[in-house]
């Protein structure tokens, strides 16, 4: 973790592998079981440590992927607030899976879920539409909902107007409040002048090189390409993406992690040096706000999708796994802020399809409509977090209840 200076103090709890051995854990079930056992104990110790230091804890806000934290909060007599980091739409699907209420019968089946538009099987999260894939992760995402009825608060990184129908439906079943987009204030309502970045980063960003290069490009002339910190493209897909970018003839800024660089076509970096900049990591929020960015080619992870929506950036959706397929459905068909190139029978999105999609966003009449829609959602995101907006009111309510508890 790369931590910026700021007012937030980072403390840690143990996952049981402080001396190493994570990679040697028999399987994900073993790792997650030990994490719960040791993590529960060390979290209690952290609460007691803070209390002894004169900083008593009133509430634990926890990532819903580790629902056992709620048991620790209750054991310590504290308020427990689940923080969900995927969309309400996706978690509503997982909720119905957890309840055993999601039924479908192969490709071509239309799926109906309360609060959601009609879905194809391919629109479902990958763990569901491809049964048996990544069982430990499937268990992890579904178990987010295992004790949601006992949480004092259920907080979502979304905003009400973005997912209005599904938020209203889910709010009938738990104490749900939308508090997003959880993006630094200076990128949205600009009320908090010292709130400029997230404060933490998995990788050290190459800020200077990215921004200097973008400053030399014209407004809306650059394609930004990033697939996040976890998703991995196969060699064939990486190369097809490279051909698509080169064929589009637009400037591009492509984030390729060092571990992925060997997948690029031979001599690609040198051959495209006049059009492209390749970096191992960059400050995504700052890049998406830059006037030179005209389009974002993304895997549609929720944080990246929400950032693009909140900053008014059109998207080319290329989902890989987990919730990304559902997010891509919303990007293309519900929010209408992007396009989604089709993959072939091998599951590969070919270079020509990528090139066509980029041109559609950047040059066509549909691209103009997409940009208008992107601007609309940008304004609604800012409205939500501004004074009196839905997310602003919900955060105020949350804090007020804690103060009077």
**Can you say whether the dihedral through the CA atoms of 169, 156, 224, 372 is positive or negative?**
positive
Q: What ranges in 232-389 are assigned the alpha helix state H? A: 235-248, 268-271, 284-289, 302-311, 324-329, 351-363, 365-385
Spatial separation of the C-alpha atoms in residues 396 and 401, rounded to whole Å? 9
Spatial separation of the C-alpha atoms in residues 230 and 60, rounded to whole Å? 27
Lowest mean pLDDT, pick from 48-52, 61-65, 225-229, 355-359: 225-229
Task: Cite the residue boundaries of each domain of the chain with CATH code 3.40.50.2000.
Answer: 2-184+386-403, 204-383
Residues 6+ apart with CB under 8 A from 257: 203, 229, 280, 281
Residue 21 vs residue 113, higher pLDDT:
113
- Sequential DSSP letters for 254-297: EE--GGGGGGSPTTHHHHTTTTEEEES---HHHHHHSTTEEEEE
Q: Residue 230 pLDDT more than 80?
A: no
Question: Scanning the structure block, which residue is given the tokens 């809306």?
Answer: 220
Q: Residue 386 pLDDT more than 70?
A: yes
**107 φ/ψ sector (left φ>0, alpha ψ -120 to 50, else beta):** beta
Lowest mean pLDDT, pick from 187-191, 294-298, 351-355, 386-390: 187-191
pTM reported for the whole predicted model: 0.94
Query: Domain 204-383 is of which CATH architecture?
Result: 3-Layer(aba) Sandwich (3.40)
Residue 326 vs residue 24, higher pLDDT:
326
Tell me which CATH code domain 2-184+386-403 carries.
3.40.50.2000
- Name beta bridge partners: 339: 316
The 8-class DSSP code of residue 121 comes to G
H or E element, residue 2: strand 2-3
The band of 137, judged by pLDDT with boundaries at 50, 70 and 90, is: confident
Closest CA to 253 of 295, 306, 205, 200: 295
Can you give the pLDDT at residue 228?
Answer: 85
Contact 217, 292 (CB under 8 A): yes
Can you give the pLDDT at residue 20?
Answer: 79
Can you give the pLDDT at residue 208?
Answer: 87
Residues 6+ apart with CB under 8 A from 86: 141, 302, 323
């Amino acid at each position: 973790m790369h931590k910026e200076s700021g007012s937030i103090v980072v403390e840690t709890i143990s996952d049981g592998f402080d001396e190493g051995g994570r990679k040697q854990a028999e399987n994900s079930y073993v790792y997650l079981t030990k994490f719960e056992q040791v993590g529960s104990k060390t979290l209690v110790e952290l609460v007691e440590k803070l209390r002894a230091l004169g900083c008593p804890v009133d509430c634990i806000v926890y990532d819903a992927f580790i629902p056992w934290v709620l048991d620790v909060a209750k054991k310590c007599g504290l308020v427990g607030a689940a923080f969900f980091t995927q969309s309400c739409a996706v978690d509503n699907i997982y909720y119905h899976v957890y309840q055993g209420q999601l039924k479908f019968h192969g490709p071509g089946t239309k799926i109906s879920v309360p609060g959601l538009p009609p879905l194809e099987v391919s629109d479902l999260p990958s763990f569901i539409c491809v049964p048996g894939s990544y069982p430990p992760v499937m268990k992890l995402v579904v178990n987010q909902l295992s004790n949601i009825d006992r949480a004092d608060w259920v907080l979502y990184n979304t905003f009400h107007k973005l997912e209005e129908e599904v938020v209203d439906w889910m709010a009938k079943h738990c104490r749900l409040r939308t508090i997003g987009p959880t993006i630094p204030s200076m990128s949205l309502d600009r009320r908090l002048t010292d709130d400029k970045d997230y404060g933490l980063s998995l990788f050290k960003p190459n800020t200077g090189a990215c921004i200097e290069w973008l400053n030399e490009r014209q407004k809306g002339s650059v394609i930004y390409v990033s697939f996040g910190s976890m998703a991995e493209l196969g060699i064939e897909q990486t190369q097809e993406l490279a051909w698509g970018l080169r064929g589009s003839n637009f400037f591009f800024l492509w984030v390729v992690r060092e571990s992925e660089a060997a997948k690029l076509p031979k001599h690609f970096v040198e051959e495209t040096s006049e059009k492209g900049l390749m970096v191992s990591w960059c400050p995504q929020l700052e890049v998406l706000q830059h006037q030179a960015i005209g389009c974002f080619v993304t895997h549609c992870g929720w944080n990246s999708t929400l950032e693009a929506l909140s900053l008014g950036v059109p998207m080319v959706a290329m989902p890989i796994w987990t919730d990304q397929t559902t997010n891509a459905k919303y990007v293309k068909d519900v929010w209408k802020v992007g396009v989604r190139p089709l993959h072939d029978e091998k599951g590969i999105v070919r270079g020509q399809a990528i090139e066509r999609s980029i041109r559609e966003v950047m040059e066509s009449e549909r691209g103009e409509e997409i940009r208008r829609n992107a601007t609309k959602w940008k304004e609604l995101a800012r409205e939500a977090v501004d004074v009196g907006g839905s997310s602003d009111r919900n955060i105020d309510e949350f804090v007020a209840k804690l103060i009077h508890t």
